[in-house]
Amino acid sequence: MPFLLSDSLMCADPLCLGDQLRLLDEAMDAHHADVMDGHYCPNLTLSPDTIAAVCRTVHKPVDVHLMVTDPSCWLERFAKAGASILTVHAETISTSAFRTIREIRRLGCQVGIALNPATPLSFIQHYADEIDLLTLMTVDVGYAGQPLIPQVIDKIRQASMWKKDAHLPFRIQVDGCCNKKTYALYHDA
């Protein structure tokens, strides 16, 4: 599988977003939109209205990464905004994982599941074959510019081996501290 690149929309300059999106849409394989509610993580970012404007501007898929306490409240709004993929944190859906996955599919989106650095892969073992995208956080949620948590590199390797050995359908995405110093490290893992 090829190595794909996504931009981080939370790092865009909101005063130049349209121009930046047009440029990035040519260069990237997809767009990654970090949505934060100020509860699940200590930051507020990207509303459904902003995502709708993004989706009207770009041609590539938009992965809406819901770093929110209760993703079920937001799924329909972001699907209607034009999300291609709805990524929720496994930690937030532990009592409703299958219901949440079915709802995301019903809304016409691909299913993404994100795991925080300290959450083991085994947390999603019962529904790993139901997801399209596994996002492994390499930093704690909440802010751009954090340093890599090195223990996650082994988790990326484990996920890759698990995917291969169990013939799981998901793609692996790395989120956090993605830069020219870490790309090769992530790719090799």
Active site residue 29: no
Residue 171 φ/ψ, nearest 5 degrees: -90, 155
7, 34, 63, 132: which one is catalytic? 34
Active site residue 34: yes
7, 63, 132, 175: which one is catalytic? 175
Cβ burial 134-171 (10 Å sphere, 16+ → b, else e): bbbbbbebeeeeeebbeebbebbeebeebbeeeebebb
Tokens of 85: 């993929």
Beta bridge partners of 112: 87, 133
Alpha-carbon dihedral sign for residues 68, 94, 87, 74: negative
Task: Give catalytic residues, as residue numbers.
Answer: 34, 175
